[in-house]
Amino acid sequence: MSGPQCCASPPTLNPSSGAGHVEKVGGLDSYVSGSPDSKLVILLVSDIYGYEAPNLRKLADKIAAAGFYAVVPDFFYGDPFAPDNAEKPIQVWLKDHGMHKGYEDAKPVIEALNSKGVSAIGAVGFCWGAKVVVELGKSSAFIKAAVLCHPTLVTVDDIKELKVPISILGAEMDHVSPPALLKQFEEVLARPQCCANPPTLNPSSGAGHVEKVGGLDSYVSGSPDSKPAILLVSDVYGYEAPNLRKLADKIAAAGFYAVVPDFFYGDPFAPDNAEKPIQVWLKDHGVHKGYEDAKPVIEALNSKGVSAIGAVGFCWGAKVVVELGKSSAFIKAAVLCHPSFVTVDDIKELKVPISILGAEIDHLSPPALLKQFEEVLASKSEVGSFVKIFPKVAHGWTVRYNVEDEAAVKSAEEAHGNLLDWTEDLHVE
C-alpha cells in the first residue's frame, strides 16, 4: 500500500446508498442487507474508502439476494481515507487504521453474529480488508471460508498459516499484489494437506521389532500370544514413522498384538522427491493394492489363532480399512483417523462397527463430509458407530504431531484414547 495504485479511482461515498440499512453490530456502525434470520453470514471488509462506497454496498445487496445476511462494518469509525486531505496521506492515515486493529475490531462483530444463532460466517476482504480477512482465516474459530479481492500486504507466510478454505481474486495489473506473488500463494495452497508435517522416518524406532507377516515386512509390538490383534494401516509416510510405532506400542500395552505392515515395500512417499510427486507416487501405491495386500496379513494373523482383528487407518490407510470393513470376513471393528478418499458410498457399504476421528481443519475430509458419514451411520442401526470432530487440529494430527507441542500431544493422546476405547470390545472372545 506504499504506492498510489491502492488509492486509485476513489468512490464517491454515499451514506444513503444500498437497499439495506445501517445498525450497530458488535459495537460498529454496519451496513446490513438481507434477512436477519438467515443462518449464513458474509462479512465484507472494505478497502480504505470504507463502508459507504456505493459499489461495495451494491455487492452486499447482491450477496444478500443469494440468501446470505451481508454485513459491512465501518472499521474506520467515520474516518475513511480521503485522498484530497493533504494533511493525512495514506502512510499517516494507516497509523490510525492499521490492519491489526481491524482484525481485533472484527472479533466483536463476529461474536455478535454468532450470538444471534448463525450457522456459518464467511468473510470477503478488499485491498486493506483482505489482510484483515487473512488474519481471521488463520484460525477456524472466526470464519469458515475467506475470499481475498486484490489483496494488500498479504504475504506468503500469511497464506501458509491459513486454516480455512480460501479464494484469491487478483488483477493482472496490480503493483501491490502482482501476479507473480499470487502464483506463490497458489503454490503454497496447492501443497496437499495430506502430505503436511512429514515425519522423520526411523527404522529403529519403537519398542517392538520388524518381521514378515503375510509376506510384508511389518513392525509388530506386544505379545504374539495375545488373542485380539490390531492392524494399523499407515498414511503415505509408511511404517517407519516414530509416532505411528509409538501408538502401536501403546495399543500393545493395552493387551493387543499390534501389527504395522509396510504396504509400500520400502517406498514411502518422499515429499522432497520432485520426480515423484504425490499424484505419481499414488499410481504405484493405490489404496486398492493396499486392500489386496492386507488380506494375506489378516490370513496370517488368523492362522496363528487370534480371536478378533480390528483395523485402524490413517489418511491413505483409512481408505484401505474402510474397504476391509465392507465385509465381516476380514476385521471385526474399524477406526478411521483423518481419512482420505473415503466417500459417503463407502460408508453406506460398511458391515462392521466403525469409529471416525476427524479434524476440524481438514480439506480432504472436512467436518461437513464427516457429518454426512454420521448421518448415514445413524440410519444403519445394525452397525455401531462413533464420529468425533476434534477442534483446532488439522489433518494428520493423530500421528504427525510435534512431540514438543503440548497442545498437539494432548489432542493426539485424546484421539488415541478414543481409538482404544472403541477397540476394547475385541478383548471379548
Task: Give the pLDDT confidence of 125-146 residue by residue, as tens digits.
Answer: 999 999 999 999 988 889 999 9
User: What DSSP line would sit under 208-230, residue for residue?
Assistant: SEEEEETTEEEEEES-TT-SEEE
Burial class (CB in 10 A: 0-12, 13-18, 19+), 380: middle
**Measured distance between the N- and C-terminal CA atoms of the chain, rounded to whole angstroms:** 69
pTM, to two decimals: 0.63
| Cell output for 322 | 474402510
Mean pLDDT of the chain: 93
CA–CA gap between residue 314 and residue 336 (Å, rounded):
6
Residue 38 is which amino acid?
Answer: S
The domains of the chain are located at 4-190, 195-427
Q: Report the CATH number of the 4-190 domain.
A: 3.40.50.1820
195-427 and 4-190 share a CATH fold: yes
pLDDT digits (tens, 9 = 90+) for 305-351: 999 999 999 999 999 999 999 999 999 999 999 999 999 999 999 99
CA dihedral 109, 111, 116, 118 (to 10 degrees): 90
- pLDDT value at 190 more than 70: no
Q: What mean pLDDT do residues 34-51 have?
A: 96
Predicted pLDDT of residue 194: 77
Predicted pLDDT of residue 111: 97
Query: Predicted confidence band at 374 (pLDDT cuts at 50, 70, 90)?
Result: very high
Q: What mean pLDDT do residues 87-110 have?
A: 95
Predicted pLDDT of residue 314: 98
- pLDDT value at 380 more than 90: yes
CATH of 195-427, one of 3.50.50.60, 3.30.420.40, 3.20.20.140, 3.40.50.1820: 3.40.50.1820
- pLDDT value at 121 more than 60: yes
Predicted pLDDT of residue 2: 44
Residue of 364, 376, 306 whose CA lies nearest to 354: 376
| Cell output for 89 | 496521506
Predicted pLDDT of residue 392: 85
CA–CA gap between residue 316 and residue 193 (Å, rounded):
12
- pLDDT value at 405 more than 90: no
Predicted pLDDT of residue 134: 97
CA–CA gap between residue 337 and residue 354 (Å, rounded):
11
pLDDT top residue among 362 and 262: 262
- pLDDT value at 363 more than 90: no
| Cell output for 17 | 446508498
